[in-house]
């Protein structure tokens, strides 16, 4: 199984999502083990899924049909990924190049409004995290690319 982000990184991801998603909003989860889309959604989001998508632009074009106009799409990743399963070239890119690639995927899929990126780095890991000492207490960084479906 691929490495998982630590608890602090997961909280950072949630705090970023909270900027885009209104309480009670219906969010389409883009992770591989999520259910098939059904109905309409107010947003779409993924954490640690983009690096495994063989055809990300096609997937994003597909989910467009389920999103309300103006809906945000938030693509997040960390440095916690399985090198053997990630798409070819992902591991060779700098994290900021990965954000640029994610922006390009969004643009190519038609999510052209309000494009941007966010990075949260150098936060503290929880003291009881098993990897606290080996990581010198530093949490996994969270990198995000986002765009919105045109209105």
Given a cut of 70, is residue 1 above it in pLDDT?
no
User: DSSP letters along 89-129, please?
Assistant: TGGGS-HHHHHHHHHHHHHHTT--EEEEEEEE-SPBPPTT-
pTM of this prediction exceeds 0.85? yes
Q: What is the pLDDT of residues 95-137, one digit of tens each?
A: 999 999 999 999 999 999 999 999 999 899 999 989 899 899 9
Q: What is the pLDDT of residues 10-60, one digit of tens each?
A: 999 999 999 999 899 999 999 888 888 999 999 999 999 999 999 999 999
Given a cut of 80, is residue 65 above it in pLDDT?
yes
């Amino acid at each position: 199984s691929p490495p998982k982000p630590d608890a602090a990184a997961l909280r950072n991801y949630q705090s970023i999502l909270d900027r885009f998603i209104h309480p009670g909003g219906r969010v389409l989860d883009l992770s591989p083990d999520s259910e098939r889309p059904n109905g309409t959604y107010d947003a779409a989001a993924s954490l640690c899924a983009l690096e495994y998508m063989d055809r990300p632009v096609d997937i994003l074009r597909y989910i467009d049909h389920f999103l309300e106009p103006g809906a945000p799409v938030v693509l997040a990743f960390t440095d916690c990924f399985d090198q053997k399963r990630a798409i070819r070239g992902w591991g060779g890119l700098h994290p900021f190049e990965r954000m640029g690639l994610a922006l390009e995927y969004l643009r190519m899929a038609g999510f052209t409004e309000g494009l941007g990126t966010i990075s949260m780095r150098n936060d503290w890991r929880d003291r009881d995290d098993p990897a606290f000492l080996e990581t010198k207490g530093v949490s996994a960084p969270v990198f995000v690319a986002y765009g919105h479906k045109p209105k």
